[in-house]
Structure 1
Amino acid sequence: MTKKITIAIDGFSSTGKSTIAKQLAKKLGYIYVDTGAMYRAVTLYAMQQNYISDTHFNVDDLITDLNNISLSFSFNESLGFAEMYLNNTNIEKTIRTIEVSRLVSKVAAISEVRRKLVSEQQEMGKNKGIVMDGRDIGTVVFPDAELKLFMTASADKRATRRYKELLDRGDKVNFEEILHNVQERDRIDSTREDSPLLEAEDAIEFDNSDMGLKEQFDRIMSLVNTRLGL
């Protein structure tokens, strides 16, 4: 039987974690799980129920309602990756908006939300052969992962990437707003009490500020092959 490993990819927002995770999963035939999409889905639900907005956050109402939130991924062959579903509705595009981005770190800081999603994530990866990206995968979800990466890049480079991505989608966005969102998410993710964004002691830090996608993939794939004993 071919050896399978768990690959945990953590790091700051807009560092391309999902892009490299999708590439690795496709190359290896592994399951890919975008944990950020799961937190975004809960955020969207909270917005739909008016539990959260730019001016208020009814935390207790969201916690009470968590059992009514069903999350799942469904593989889209034409796209080549699994899309996020909330209560059986495809929300893949809706959760990528700047409105959700502004609020997701606040929702992700709630301990009850994290417990629910971490439990689901650990269940998804119990048989290995998985690539998972997020903020606490190597430290909390899979502390025994065979390969842990910590992605980083300058805030300006990350904001520029996010800005171009949203423009390409046809969204009307402002660069300064994107930059502020990146910096604010860094602050909230790094200072929250429950599972703050931390680099695992045995993680490999990967700064891709000035790196193309092919070079990044080739370098990370070589690390994967080493872990696989190839």
Structure 2
Amino acid sequence: MAAGEPNSLPRLGKKQKYVFVAYPYRIYNKNDYRKPYHEIAKAFSVTFVFADERISTLHILDKIRGHIRECEFGIYDITGWNPNVTLELGLALGLGEKAFIAFDPKKTELKEVPSDVQGIDRIQYDSFYSLGEQLTRLIGQEFPIQRRHEAQGQMEKLRQETLDLIAKAGLEGIGVSTIAEALGANVELIKVVVRPMVGKELFAKGKKRGTKYLLRENGIDFFPKKDQIIT
């Protein structure tokens, strides 16, 4: 059974929509690394359980084991091939728990990764922005979007519905709250959908809470300033 496949063992005792996360906290700034996780947690109503403690005693090891067992799956960021993350990943695999690996190839020598780990489903990123994009795909795959109406709530469909609404708004533009209300979707989820399209399919006018989004059309080349990008 591949580590990214559904576990065939009973999932008793699992906390719904809980995801265990292990990452090399000595490599990354805590707030910077966790920002995309916090955004996605709001959008998908997911709880990420972070492994914050260095495994130095059996007590801490038992605590980590408990976190891994109670979560539906785990994300193990092996960037730099951190010993603590390696131990947590090995523990998860030994327990038969569902696991995904993540890494930044700029900071990770792939030849250091054992062949049995290379077969695990992975998230590969080169910035916190791309980490957020990859996490959005993974969480959307594992926990399909819950919508307040009965339309199928997959990300691509929601993205297209959002573009359609923005197109109808014309030069007036439309804000994320209005889009969320029209589509019966979570505001944070609409932010996740809109953010990657700014500077590509969309441009923004206004600032922060008053920002409205328009389609980029014939020759318009507008890239928003930092204070125009939704946060």
TM-score (norm 1): 0.36
Which protein has the larger Cα radius of gyration, Structure 1 or Structure 2?
Answer: 2
Higher relative contact order (CA closer than 8 Å, sequence separation 6+): 1
